[in-house]
Structures are given as C-alpha cells and as structure tokens.
Chains A and B, each alone.
Chain A
Amino acid sequence: MSSATDHAEESNYLNAKPGLMSWLTTLDHKRIGVMYLISILTAFFIAGMLAMLVRTELLTPGRTIVDPDTYNQFFTLHGAIMVFMFIIPGIPAALGNFVLPLMLGAKDVAFPRLNLMSWYLWVFGGVFAVVSMVTGAVDTGWTFYTPYSTDTSTSVINMTLGVFILGFASIFTGINFVVTIHKLRPAGMTWWRMPLMLWGLYATAIIQVLATPVIGITMLLLIAERTLGVGIFDPALGGDPLLYQHFFWFYSHPAVYIMILPAMGVISELISVHSRKTIFGYQAIALSSVAIAAFSFIVWGHHMFTAMSPMANMVFSALTFSVSIPSAVKTFNWLATLYRGHIRLNTPMLYALSFLFLFGIGGLTGLFLGTLAVDVHLHDTYFVVAHFHYVMFGGTVIAFLGGLHHWWPKMFGRMYNEGLAKLACFLIFIGFNITFMSQFIMGSLGMPRRYYDYIDAYGSYHVWSSIGAYIMAVGFFLTAGYLIHSLIAGKKAVENPWGAATLEWRTASPPIEHNFHETPDANYPYDYSVNRFNPDTGNYDHIGAPAQEDDDRAVGFHGHGLESTT
C-alpha cells in the first residue's frame, strides 16, 4: 500500500484553506511552525548580513567601512537578533512546532491559541526590538551590561522591552510543549518510548518556563533604573553593577541550553534514522538532557570569573565541569550508534556528522574556559567568541540545518537538489572552521572581543576569519536558492523517504490538515523493522508493529512496570 499515491488528490495543511488571512488566524501547529520558520529565517538573514559587515570592518585595523559607533551597533544587533530571535526560538518554535504533535500522533499542541499568540508576540517583540535598535542606535552588546547600559544615551529601554516581549513568546511555547508532552502522548507511548527529539524539546521547555521570567524581571529592573532612577545596578545611585550580571546570566546561561538541547534531540533522530540502527543508550541520552537542563541553572557564575570572589569562582568552576559529562555521554552514544549501522551519507546525515565534529570542538574548548587559571587569560577574548560560535553555530545551527533538510520533505512535500545541498553543507562546514579556528588562535594570543581596532599582531588571523565568513555566506545563499527552487519545482516527496520509524512519517507529505486519518499506534521509535523500502515508489511502506520482545529490551526497564502504557 502506498499512501503517497492514494492521498495524491487529498488536500494538505498547506492548501486546505486559501488566503493570507487563513494563515494569520490559523491554529494549526504546522502552519504556525512554517510561519515561525519564515520569521526566524528572516531574522537569521538580517543577523547574518550584520555578521558579514562586522567581518568586513575587521578586515583591516582601524576604519575599513564604518566608524566605531556604527561597528558597535553592528555587533550588538548581530548578537541580539541571533540570540533572541533566531537561536532561542529556532529549533523549538519552528521545527519543534511542526514535528512535536506529529511525533505524538496528535492532532495539535495542547493550546493552539497560545501557540498562535506566541508567534504574534515574537513578531511584535522582534519588530519592536529591531526598529528601536536601529533607530535608537543601541550599542551595548547583546548582554546590556550595567552601568554602561544605564548610562548610554541610546534607546536601551525600547530594546529591553522588545526582549521582554520575546521572552513571553518563548515562555508560551515552553508551556505548550510541557503540557502537550504530558497529556497528548498516544496509547503505547510511555516516557521511555518517546522519540529523543521530544526529550530534547521537553527539557528545553522546562528551562524556557523556569528561566525566562528572570530575564523579563531583569529587563524591567533595568527600565526602572533608567526611567525612575531607582538605584539597582548603577553604583552612582547606590546599586551594584555585578548584580545585573548575576541576573542576566541566571537566565542567559540556561538559555544556552535552550539553544543546544533541542539540537541534541535533532541529532539523535538524524543519526539513528540515517544509520538505520536503533539509538545506542536511549535512556542515557534522554536522562542526560534532563541532567543538562538541571545543571544549566547552577553554572551562570562562570561568565564572571574575572569579577567575583575566589570562593564563588571555585564553586562555579566545579559546577561548570559537571555539565561536560552529560554532553560527553551523548557524543559517545551517537558514535556508538554509527557503529555497525547502515550509514546513508545524505544531506541530513552530513549535517549530523558535522555536528559531531564541530560540537566536539565547541564542547572540548569549554574545558579551557571552565578551568579558572586558564580562563583568566582567555576571558573576554576571541577564544570565548570562537568557543560559543562552535557551540551555537557548530552545534545548534548545524543541527537546525540538518533537521530542516530531514523534515523538509514532510513539511513541504518536495525534495531538494541533493548535490547542491551537499555542496552547500561542505561550504558552510569549511567556511565556519576557517572563520572560527582563526579566532581561537587570536583569542589565545590575547585579542579582546568587541574591538573595532586591533594591533597588527592579529592582522592575518582577522583576514582569514573574514574569508571564512564569506565562504559561509556563499553556502547559505546556495541553500536558500535550492530550497526555494524545491518549493517550486522539486520532486514530489513520498510519505517516508528516509525509512524513519517515528510517527510523523506515518502520514502524507505534506500532512493532511488534521495530521492523521486515524491515530497511529506508537512503537519504539528506533525499531526499523516496522517499514520496508518500496523500490517502485521510493517510499518506506509501513508494514506493522514490531515484535514486543524487542520493544521491551529497548526500553531496558522490563519488569519494572514502567513500560505499561498510560
């Protein structure tokens, strides 16, 4: 049976209701996911172009294209847009919104209206923040450190209000995902049979709900200080500037895990599906996501090693190292999954392998920064810039791209040009390494971050770094090109082109408006005996439930009652 052809004439979520208004008032998680996807990619494009301007200015010491104030606004905008408008909502709100209910075999998220509200808040907060940053020339850096941010004449208040609103968009998505995962799992899907993508999104959602209010309150305090002169952070008013940094990082460090945990979920799916082998250490991966979420709340102090007392530094350094263990465990699990698999080197898999390479470097270089004595030298240098780009870009953005290529056929019912996709992946990978490997070296040589001008000793590294950035840009424009082309003229996608065993592949590509004709039975999500390749259609046809025996072994909790359905 090939449902792809059976459903050929049936309407899908993209064409079920026509007109712009049907999109702007939709409660369909898939449409909201697509709207989020378009929105965050727009933000990514703007912030990416700002990165190009930053790298171009840094081609030569002194003035290359702009004056110092403009340069300071460039990197502030680049950081703030990337963090608050692209990376944080990136995987959960765009890909997560689309696949989460499908993976659960559900019709929608638990609160569809809240979901739409989240998108509107994102648009409102995002436009508000960007407009005020551009017109108000905000130059504080994305961290808004006091007392600089309370003293500067630029429109910090509007910008922070924008961040405050964006925070609520994030909280709404988080609440929705927590409730959906608790309440809408289908018969047969116990916690230990959830796809690891859902574990990643679940851990992320918990952090979003618990940590985001802190940045909201911090931004309000900042506004209170600027408008009412309440002395909270500014020492001239009797405040404490370091207090701001504690508040800020109490959110913004967990936020780093809001960015990386869903990426780890994506990678778990990609590696298992494209090796056609069950994930190794399912429980270890699931629990390490929860462990990372928990640890994420107690390591914020490592952003202030050159400002705090030795005692506080010691405690935060020790706690910081604790995060490295679950990350290392995950990496080894993914490697072990590749062992004796049947590896298909398509674009999603190339991105997953790039992730292992780049996130490996990002994670390992964290050891230098967690080590107190070494961090003192590296703190606030390009070494830190390179480290977090390896984690945020090499980790999250690469996983996002992998996930986008993996779920693209499901989202839009079209295949993209595989050759061009591989070429773009290669360009992005090479360009990225050239850009940020140079930054590791100049950072350990002492180049401070957020510098408009620099001494000649760092000259050659800056030129290399900019060249790498241009190569990445070519890769991204190529990606945009073939993805847009696929929407117009791409080959029609089958229901399940990769042979994945998670539930989103058990409906048409693109899915019908209500996702499934009948709720599918959940099986262990990494048992690939449930489908069989059909050489005539190129689809993996679903052939039935797996043997129960394998299922029990998979969850590893046989006899403990945990495998019973809820």
Chain B
Amino acid sequence: MNLFVELVARLLGVTPAMASDNALRGLYLPPEASTSAGHIDWMFDVILWICIFFFVLIVVLMGLFIMRYRVKDPNAEGPRIYHNTALEVTWTAIPLGIVVVIFWLGFKGYMDLAVPPANAYEIQVTGQKWSWSFTYPTGHVDNVLHVPTDRPVTLIMTSTDVIHSMYLPAFRAKMDVFPGRYSKLWFDADEPGTYPLFCAEYCGTEHSSMISEVVVQEGPEFDEWLTVASNILATMTPEEGGKYLWEKRGCNQCHSVDGSAGIGPTFVNLFGAQRAFGDGTTTVADENYIRKSILEPQSQIVAGFDGVMPTFQGRFNDEELGAMIAYIKSLTSS
C-alpha cells in the first residue's frame, strides 16, 4: 500500500527532492549552466522541430490515406503507379540537404566543445570504482567538484580501474575516462548553483552511486573556498582532520566508524588489535600498519575480505597520513 501511494505520488511528480535534484528538472532539457549549453540546446531544438515536421507529415499522410482509400471491393487493384522520378529525386535530395546542414552545425558546435582554451583552469580528476576525486592546483583533494564562473575549466581525467565517463548534464558535457591515459573535458560554467555529476559508462555494482555534485561559484567566492579548503587540516586537530579525510577521500564508502562490516574492515577498535591476514600471518595494527594499508593495501589483506582497495600512494601526504592515524586511534576504546 505504501508502495502504491509512493508510486502515485511519483507519477504526479510530487516527490521530495534534494537541492541538486531540482537542478535537473525541466520540460525536456535540464537548466543551462555553461556557456556551451545554450548553443547545444538551440541545436537540439532545431533538430526537434525538423523531426516533428517530418513525423507529422508521415503520420498525417498515413492517416489521410487510411481514411480515404479503404478497401470496398476485394478485387479492386490500386493504380499501377510504379515510380515517379521527379518525386523520388525530390524526397531524396531534400533530406540529404537537411542532414548535411545538421551535420555541419553539429560538427562546428562540437569543435567548440572539443578544444579547451589555452588559459583554462586545470583540475585533475581520478575516477575509480565507485567515486570521483578532484585535485586542485593547490594540492587540495575533494570528492565534490567546485568550479568558478569567471574562467574556463579543463578537467584532466584518468581512471585507476575500468572505463568511466564524466557527465555534467547541466553543462551538456561528457567525456569517457580511461585507465592508462588522460582525457580532457572543458567547460565555462556561468550559472552559480549546485548540479549533479554522473558516471555515464557502466562500471559495475555501484555504477549508479558514482555520482557527485558540481558546485558553481562566483570567482572570488571560489578562490576563498579553495584557500580555506586547502588549509583545512591546519585549522583542525589531527583527529578532526582524519575524520574530514575519511569523508572527503571516499574511505567512508568501505570502512565504517560505527563498527558495522563493509567492503573493508571497520575502523572501530582497529588500532592495537591483532590482525590476521589471508596468508595466515598476523600482526598488531600500529602506526606503520595503518600507513602501509593506505599506501600498499594489497600487501596485507585481512582474512575474510577481498583485495579490492586501490592504492592511495601519492594521494595522501605525511600530514594527512598522520591525521588518519590519529583519527583511527581515537576510534579505539580503551
């Protein structure tokens, strides 16, 4: 019964929504938040009207012929109209002309999307099953994409495992992200707000959870955010810093802090505990153990877990490793 009520509510479109959720509501295209979106939507509309014209033409003619030329005598045969060269040339040439124009417009619009401007602000993106991380020029790493309105942005993207695809519907921008190579995606955001960010290439179990947000901010506001975010560990105790990193670097997807089992072991009561590995060896979880688990996770897989954790070598500096160790220590009740 609850399901039924929920479905009726959904049919009528009255559903609870997050802020960024609303950002994708629209008649048939999401709101435009980049300088390219307007042109792409214009092209979409041009093609839409061409399609509507031809579709209505086909259906109306079909309807007229059905009504007008119904069978009355089972033996009556329609006139032997075998072909009509003039008509056939016309209905070949007109669609040909139309698709040539559509192709050309689409190609020109695409070249604008494909070639990033030289002065673009660069953000490094790493896709992995099943999260995104964004590295800013200051070295700050975040799981939410923040971009300024006052300059074009280029995302330089790679994957640590399978193919993903960066999709920003509000910018009408999308590019596949490959392991072992870099691909680029650029845009010039012009409408402050928060919009969804999807993975568009199927990547396994949690593919549909590989979503994040893009926060578009005015230039000065963005700069201020980045300064604060880049130095955030300095404003926190190491324990608070570790908790912050646990959320921001995606540790929270697999490692719980409430004792429940996840894809990886919980952090609760981990420090100081005896760890038994898949190969039968054991060790006590000390600072070195935690450091090694972050940088070389495959070297010590705890018994009962799959070795699915990617390495974070190069993505945690010493200060951050220290914060993680402090945080995990604080989760051990003594």
Stretch from B55-63, B279-287, B326-334 at the A interface: B55-63
The answer to whether A148 touches B163 (Cβ under 8 A) is yes
User: How far is the CB of B165 from the nearest CB of chain A, in Å?
Assistant: 6
Q: Which of B74, B80, B96, B167 contacts A325 (CB 8 A)?
A: B96
Residue of B51, B92, B103 most packed against chain A (CB within 10 A): B103
Give the docked Cα–Cα distance between A463 and B7 (Å): 7
User: How far does the alpha carbon of A55 sit from the alpha carbon of B193 in the complex, in Å?
Assistant: 32
CA separation between A108 and B274, bound complex, in Å?
Answer: 76
Contact check, A446 vs B24: say whether CB atoms are below 8 A apart: yes
Cross-interface CB contact of A338 among B66, B76, B165, cutoff 8 Å: B66
Indicate if A152 sits at the interface (CB-CB under 8 A): yes
Determine the residue in chain A with the shortest Cβ distance to B36. A373
B320 near A: Cβ within 8 Å? no
Most chain B beta carbons < 10 A, residue from A281, A462, A533? A281
- Among the 9-residue stretches B15-23, B240-248, B261-269, B297-305, the one with 4 or more Cβ atoms under 8 Å from chain A is B15-23
Interface positions, chain B 1-57, Cβ under 8 Å from A, are 3, 6-7, 10-13, 15-18, 20-26, 28-30, 39-40, 43-44, 47-48, 50-51, 54-55
Q: Return the CB mask of A44-88 against B: 1 if under 8 Å, else 0.
A: 000000000000000110000000110010000000000000000
Chain A residue contacts of B75, Cβ below 8 A? 532-533
Q: Tell me whether B201 and A380 are in contact (CB under 8 A).
A: yes
Interface stretch, picked from B105-113, B138-146, B224-232, is B105-113
Stretch at the interface among A353-361, A399-407, A485-493, A512-520: A353-361
Residue numbers in B under 8 Å from A235 (CB-CB) = 178-181
What residues on B are CB-neighbors of A540 within 8 Å?
74
**Chain B, 61-85, CB within 8 A of any chain A CB:** 61-62, 65-66, 69-84
A113 within 8 A of B: no
Chain A residues with Cβ below 8 Å from B178 are 235, 241-242, 307
Q: Decide: B99 and A60 in contact? CB cutoff 8 A.
A: no
Q: Which residues of B contact A342 (CB under 8 A)?
A: 69-73, 76-78
Q: Which of B101-132 contact A (CB under 8 A)?
A: 102-103, 105-115
Asked if A72 and B107 sit within 8 Å, CB to CB, the answer is no
Interface string of A334-356 (1 = CB under 8 A from B): 01101111111100000001001
The reply to whether B201 and A328 form a contact with Cβ atoms under 8 Å apart is: no
A370 interfacial contact with B, CB 8 Å: yes
Q: Which residues of A contact B183 (CB under 8 A)?
A: 307
B174 near A379 with CB under 8 A, answer: yes
Of the listed stretches A10-18, A35-43, A313-321, A424-432, chain B binds A313-321
A313's nearest neighbour on chain B, judged by CB, is: B110
Q: With an 8 A cutoff between CB atoms, is B200 at the interface?
A: yes
CA distance A65 to B17 in the complex (A): 22
Residue A460 CB within 8 A of the other chain: yes
Q: Which residue of chain A is the closest to B12 with respect to CB atoms?
A: A460
Q: Is A191's CB within 8 Å of the partner chain B?
A: no
Is A124 on the interface with B (CB-CB < 8 A)? no
* Cβ–Cβ < 8 Å partners of A521 in chain B: none
* Residues A444 and B96 in contact in the complex (CB < 8 Å), given A450-B202, A451-B208: no
- Of the listed stretches A115-123, A249-257, A473-481, A549-557, name the one at the interface; the rest are far from the partner chain: A549-557
Q: Does B318 contact A (CB under 8 A)?
A: no
Is A457 a contact partner of B81 (Cβ separation < 8 A)? no
A24 to B95, CA, bound (A): 50
Q: Which of B248-294 contact A (CB under 8 A)?
A: none
Number of A-B contacts (CB under 8 A): 311
Bound Cα distance A386, B204 (Å): 22
Q: Are A277 and B79 in contact (CB under 8 A)?
A: yes
Is the pair B169, A377 in contact by a Cβ cutoff of 8 Å? Answer: yes
CA distance A281 to B26 in the complex (A): 44
Contact B200 A379 (CB under 8 A): yes
Q: Mark A363-402, 1 if CB is under 8 A from B, else 0.
A: 0110110111111110111000000000000000000000
Q: Is the CB of A380 within 8 A of B165?
A: yes
Residues of A within 8 A of B16 (CB): 456
**Are B82 and A367 in touch, CB under 8 angstroms?**
no
Q: Check if B81 sits within 8 Å of A278, measured CB to CB.
A: yes
Determine the chain B residues whose CB is within 8 A of the CB of A374 once the complex forms. 40, 43-44, 47, 106, 109
Bound together, the chains give a CA A540 to CA B181 distance in angstroms of: 67
Q: Which of A370, A444, A448, A454 has the most CB atoms of chain B within a 10 A radius of its CB?
A: A448
Q: Which 5 A-B pairs have the closest CB atoms?
A: A277-B78, A446-B169, A235-B180, A373-B109, A371-B106
18 additional contacts, CB 8 Å, given A373-B109, A456-B18? A235-B180, A278-B80, A281-B83, A306-B174, A307-B175, A317-B103, A317-B110, A329-B91, A338-B62, A364-B54, A368-B47, A371-B43, A372-B107, A373-B43, A373-B105, A450-B202, A457-B23, A463-B7
21 contacts between A and B (CB under 8 A): A60-B3, A278-B81, A281-B82, A325-B96, A328-B91, A338-B62, A342-B76, A343-B65, A360-B58, A370-B99, A373-B105, A374-B43, A376-B172, A377-B174, A446-B30, A446-B169, A446-B198, A448-B208, A451-B207, A452-B207, A456-B17
Where the two chains meet, the residues of A that have a C-beta atom closer than 8 Å to any C-beta of B are: 59-60, 68-69, 72, 139-141, 145, 147-148, 151-152, 235-236, 241-242, 275-278, 280-284, 306-307, 310, 313-314, 317-318, 321, 324-325, 328-329, 331-332, 335-336, 338-345, 353, 356-357, 360-361, 364-365, 367-368, 370-377, 379-381, 441, 444-446, 448-460, 462-464, 499, 528-529, 532-533, 540, 550, 553-554, 556
